[in-house]
Every structure is written in C-alpha cells, then in structure tokens.
Amino acid sequence: MKVIKWLFVNRSIRTKIVWSSVITSLVPMLVLSYLFYESSTKSLERTMYRSTSQNAQYVAGYLNQYFRDLSSSALQVYGFPRVMNLMEHGRNTNDEDFFALGESLKSYYALVSNKNKDTVIKVMIFGKDNKLKDFWSRAASYDSIPFNESIPHYEDMLDLPFQNSLSFSYRDSSFKQDFFVFAITIYDPFYHSKIGTLVFYIQLKELTKVIEANNQSPNVIVLRNSLGETFYHTSGKYDGIVPTFDMPDAKLKKKPKELRFEQRQDLLVSTSYLDNGNSTLTIIYPNEELARHRNNTLLIAIGAVVFAVVCISLLSLFAQQYLTRPIKRLGQAMKKVRNGNFHVTLSQPYRYRDDISELTRSFNFMTEKIRELIEQRYQMQLRNKEAQLLALQMQINPHFLYNTLQTIGGKAVLIGDYEIPEMCRSLGDLFRYSFYEGNTESTIRQELAHVGNYLYIQQFRFEESLRMEFDVPESLMEVSTIRFVMQPIIENAVIHALGGPDDGQLLIRVRAETDEGTIVLSVSDNGPGIAPAKLAELRSDMEKKSMEVFSGVSIGLKNVHERIRLAYGDSYGLELDSKLGEGTVIRIRIPCRKRGESHV
C-alpha cells in the first residue's frame, strides 16, 4: 500500500497514466512471457519427442531385422533333417549318410552366409550332449578360435531356454580381435525337447558398421542382452541411466518401446525390446538444442518485458493502435494455419522486440518447424517403403525349394534309393499347394491330394503306427471348397493321438456325403478321444468370435471354422464329436457347388 501511495499520491496525471499503464501491463506481460517460454519449450520438447520416436523406431526396426536374419538363419536348420540328426544322435558311419550329411552341412553353411551378407565368420554346431559336432569357418585362420573357459558364458549358452537366444561380445586374446557371438538352442518344435545348439561368430566391427550407419552423433546407442550385460555401446558416458533388461510380458511385446526424459529434461532416453535378439536397445539423445533454446527464450522473454515496459511508458496513448493491428494479423494467420495452410509467414521487422513481435517470430518459427516435420515424416515413409521392398527381395523363392527337392530326389535315384524321391515329390507338392498365390478356392480332390502328401510323409516317421482310409465318391471330387480345411484337422489327430503312453495303430478315415444340398466331410480317428469337459470347452471356444487378427504359423480348428463361416455363412463350419477311449469325429459342412459357381 505504501508503494502504491508513493506512486500515485501527489503525482501528475501523465505520471499516473504512465505508472498505471506500466503496472497494469507489467503483470500480464510477465505472465505472457512465462507462458511463451513454457509453450515454446514444451513445443520443442514435443517436436523432439516425435522426431526422436520416429528415429528410435527406425533404428530399432533395422537392428531387429539384423537379429531376425541371424535368428532365422539358425531356425532354418529345421529344413536340414540330416543336420538335425547330427545334433541329436551324432555322426553315422554309413558312407551314404556320410556324404549326404556333408552336402547338407555345406548347403546349410552357404544359406547362413548368404542370409547374413557374408558377415558370419564361423558357425559351431553342438549336439544334445553339448559336444561339438561340426563347425565352419570363412577362413582357415578362424578355425582355431577357442571355445573354452576363456569365453564368457561358455557353458550357459549351450542350454538356453526354449525360444531364447543369447548375444554378447568379448575380446579374444589370441586373435587380438573383438567378436560378437549369437547363440541359440534348437528344440523339437512339437515336444520342446533339446536337440542341440548353434553358435555364430561375427567380427564386432561388422555389428559396429550396422549400428553406425543408423546413428548420428552425439546420440549414444547401448545394447544389452538378457543377462543385463552391455555387449555394445558407442559411449559409456551415460551407462548409469541405461535401464536394466526386463523380459516384457505379452502385452508389452505388442508395443515394446519406451521414451522418457532424464536429468531435468536434458536427455531423451529411448528403450526398445528387440524380440529377435532377446535384448534391449537404448538410444540416448542429448538435448543440447533444447538447453540452448531455454536460455535464448528466457533472455528474449526478459528483454521483451523490459522493452515493452519502456515502450508502454513512452507511448501509452498510442499503444492500442499498435497492439490491435499485429494481433489481428496474427489471428488471421492462425486461422489459415488452423485450416491447413502451413505456408503462412508474417512479415515483421527484426528491430522490434515487443511481445507481439516475439509471438510473430515464434509463429513463423512454428510454421517452419511444422513444414520440416511434414517433410521428415514423408521421407521416413519413403525409407520404410524401401525397407519393405528390400525385405521382400530377400525372401526365399518357392521355386528354388521345388528345384532343390527335385535335385535331391534325382540324386537319390542315382544311388538306388526310391523312397527319398517320393518324399521329395510329396514335400514339393505340399510346398506348391501352400505357396500358391492365386485364388483361394480349391476342390475336394485337391484337398485330398494335399492331405495324401502330408500323410505319406508322416508315414515315414510313424511307419505302421499310422493308417488312413478315404471314402469319397467320384461325383463329389470336383465340389468347390476353400483351401486348407482338412490338413489342419488331420494334423491335430496325428499330434494328439500318436506319441503318447498308449501308442497303438492310428486309423484316420475321411468320408464325404451329401445332406440336403450340403456336403459333409467326416474326419474320424480311433485315438484316445476327448474328455467331455474339454470337448465342451472346445465347442464353446469355436463359437466365440476372435478379437484379434490371425497371425503365426499354426492353423487350428477355430481358424478353419471361422474361415468356412466367413466364406459361406453361419450355417456352415465344423462339428465336433468325441468319446473318451473311442476316438474323435470332426464334420466339415460346406455348400455343394462346383468350382467357379457363386454362393448365395
């Protein structure tokens, strides 16, 4: 109150007007300057957050693809039965198997080399007993790379859990080189029993090239494995804030990325889970630009306040005229931006330092940044498209598989083995039917041929334990159906009825008959059957609509049921019937029409 009296009591009108203008304007100006400082800082934080998020997603995707190539190279060993047999049972002294195994190993090593762009320098194959069964080196000098206690995780990497891998790096004292090691344990896909372990060696400098090609200084990249160890980093400056490895749950795997600020918003830390590498990627972005922007904005705000107070004091009578005009221009420009025009630029003399001038310059800065972000997003989309095209180019051509199977069958005929060509033919037909990219419509005849090929191959595994009978009238062979309706059902019967404690001969019957204008395909077996509670649960689950898009390799009963209903309507689908100890019958109900006829 004393200050107010000193300012206004016994003062001239001019002084009172000046002080009134200064005091009434000073508080709003301070508030506006603070809001401008906060909004400008938050705006830049959001801009950097979006830009950083896109960059982190791109780097994580690129590295995940790198680990995916390594992981898929290891898992492709499932396509080499002789190599799998070597891992599980050791070498066979039979001369024929010896040379065939050599060819399989040579083909597998060539596949690994081509898949990973010749970066793998050594592959070691360990058996079920954790003993070395075979190895391959890019050069003879790498043959002597030791595998003993001098290597980290020497024993742990040979007994990794199912669907887990281990990545780490170490420096070999004898070679005086840094190596990156990727290990994965191979399991039986049905019974999850251990078969062996594959260990890949890559020079660490090759991994460095991949990372540095996608990193910009001063960003720091840190890779940690499932044991919480850092096996690569571009700098150890921020090791204290790198999060530890936590195996994400199923919900987090759908969105395995975290982005947060650290150290008073001066660092932006992105952490991503690399599913294929069983590791985490942490990218640290030092926000030097944000710190400079804070200081500059603070100085500008303070300068604007001081300058505005002086101007208001000297030109209080003319303030309204000079304030209204630029605010109106700014409002009109903001309306254009709101309508989608981001090319609006307000002209403003640089010598002006009042708050409206600063807002105008910030507005121009904002629209310029928005245009830059739109351009960056467009370029990012182009790079993503290029990456997708590259991934498509790297896929295996199915015709290569067919030709390879024919070559294997031809070589088997030359040595007098006539069962292998039949297996190769059946497997080739399975591939051809599975990879066919045309119309999804098929016929009962084609479905039975596909099932026959599958069962023919399975008989080599189960021999006399598996028998099949087909009772389908010739008149129904050309009836149209969607693809893959019978093979998943028969596969379930083989999986659940064979290999148990009560091993016996499994008989699978396939019948077809008409029923009031529909076709009923019956697949029955003499297996152990299904318990009533489990059968009721299966029937209930089949009637529930799936809430997620189907993904993965397995095509189950529920998927077949939903595909039939989607194609033909709710009156068609699967019917389950089973008695414990007597077997199971699954009926497939589809409309009776020839191929090419439309269904109403």
Mean pLDDT of 284-313: 73
Query: For 294-308, how does the pLDDT look when each residue is reduced to its tens digit (9 = 90+)?
Result: 677 777 878 877 777
Between 405 and 79, residue with greater pLDDT: 79
Is the pTM higher than 0.95? The answer reads no
Dig out the tokens for 392 from the structure.
């498509």
According to the model, what pLDDT value does residue 312 have? Answer: 67
Banded model confidence at residue 125, pLDDT cuts 50, 70, 90: very high
Q: Please, are residues 479 and 519 in contact by the beta-carbon 8 Å criterion?
A: yes
Mean pLDDT of 591-595: 80
CA distance 312 to 302: 15
Between 550 and 518, residue with greater pLDDT: 518
- Candidate ranges 100-104, 115-119, 193-197; pick with highest mean pLDDT: 193-197
* DSSP summary character for residue 140: G
> With 60 as the cut, is the pLDDT of residue 554 above it?
no
CA distance 529 to 508: 13
> With 50 as the cut, is the pLDDT of residue 409 above it?
yes
Banded model confidence at residue 389, pLDDT cuts 50, 70, 90: very low
In sequence order, what are the residues at sequence separation of 6 or more whose Cβ sits closer than 8 angstroms to the Cβ of residue 255? none
According to the model, what pLDDT value does residue 582 have? Answer: 86
Residue 7 to residues 10, 15, 23: CA-CA distances in angstroms? Answer: 8, 8, 10
Between 318 and 258, residue with greater pLDDT: 258
Q: Please, are residues 179 and 172 in contact by the beta-carbon 8 Å criterion?
A: yes
Q: Cis (ω within 30 of 0) for the bond into 152?
A: no
Long-range contacts of 13-17 (CB under 8 A, 24+ apart): 17/316, 17/317
What residues does 511 pair with on adjacent strands?
471, 522
Q: What is the 3-state secondary structure (H, E, C) of 452-480?
A: HHHHHHHHHHHHHHEEEEEECCHHHCCEE
CA distance 422 to 409: 8
Angle at 332 between CA 330 and CA 335, to 5 degrees: 110
Residue 354 to residues 39, 198, 295, 316, 500: CA-CA distances in angstroms? Answer: 18, 69, 18, 14, 85
Mean pLDDT of 574-595: 88
Between 146 and 544, residue with greater pLDDT: 146
According to the model, what pLDDT value does residue 126 have? Answer: 92
CA distance 180 to 199: 10
Find, among 380, 382, 391, the residue nearest to 57 by Cα. 380
Find, among 573, 577, 574, 565, the residue nearest to 536 by Cα. 577
Between 551 and 336, residue with greater pLDDT: 336
Q: Please, are residues 433 and 446 in contact by the beta-carbon 8 Å criterion?
A: yes
**Residue 275, CA atoms < 13 Å, CB-side half-sphere:** 12
**Helix residue ranges, H only, 394-439:** 398-414, 419-435
Q: Please, are residues 424 and 405 in contact by the beta-carbon 8 Å criterion?
A: yes
According to the model, what pLDDT value does residue 201 have? Answer: 92
Between 74 and 254, residue with greater pLDDT: 74
Query: For 237-260, how does the pLDDT look when each residue is reduced to its tens digit (9 = 90+)?
Result: 777 777 665 655 444 455 556 666
Banded model confidence at residue 513, pLDDT cuts 50, 70, 90: very high
According to the model, what pLDDT value does residue 395 have? Answer: 46
In sequence order, what are the residues at sequence separation of 6 or more whose Cβ sits closer than 8 angstroms to the Cβ of residue 479? 443, 444, 519, 590, 592, 593, 594
Q: How many residues are recorded in the chain? A: 600
Q: Cα–chain-centroid distance for residue 185?
A: 21
According to the model, what pLDDT value does residue 95 have? Answer: 58
For residues 547, 522, 431 and 505, what is the CA-based torsion angle, rounded to 10 degrees?
110
Q: At what angle do helices 13-75 and 288-314 cross, to 10 degrees?
A: 170
According to the model, what pLDDT value does residue 198 have? Answer: 92
Look at strands 267-274 and 279-286 and give their pairing.
Answer: antiparallel
According to the model, what pLDDT value does residue 511 have? Answer: 93
Residue 573 to residues 58, 418, 448, 514, 539: CA-CA distances in angstroms? Answer: 43, 40, 18, 15, 12
Query: For 154-166, how does the pLDDT look when each residue is reduced to its tens digit (9 = 90+)?
Result: 888 888 888 888 8
Mean pLDDT of 363-392: 67
- Identify the weakest region by mean pLDDT among 8-22, 267-281, 411-425: 8-22
According to the model, what pLDDT value does residue 209 have? Answer: 84
| Placement of tokens 């605010």 in the chain | 327
Between 425 and 592, residue with greater pLDDT: 592
Mean pLDDT of 408-416: 71
Mean pLDDT of 91-100: 72
Of the chain, the percentage scoring pLDDT greater than 90 comes to 8
According to the model, what pLDDT value does residue 358 have? Answer: 75
According to the model, what pLDDT value does residue 378 have? Answer: 54
Average pLDDT, the chain: 76
Mean pLDDT of 281-299: 74
According to the model, what pLDDT value does residue 65 have? Answer: 85
In sequence order, what are the residues at sequence separation of 6 or more whose Cβ sits closer than 8 angstroms to the Cβ of residue 430? 450, 453, 454, 457
Dig out the tokens for 514 from the structure.
């008409």
- Identify the weakest region by mean pLDDT among 254-263, 374-383, 443-452, 516-525: 254-263
Residue 466: CB atoms within 10 A of its CB come to 19
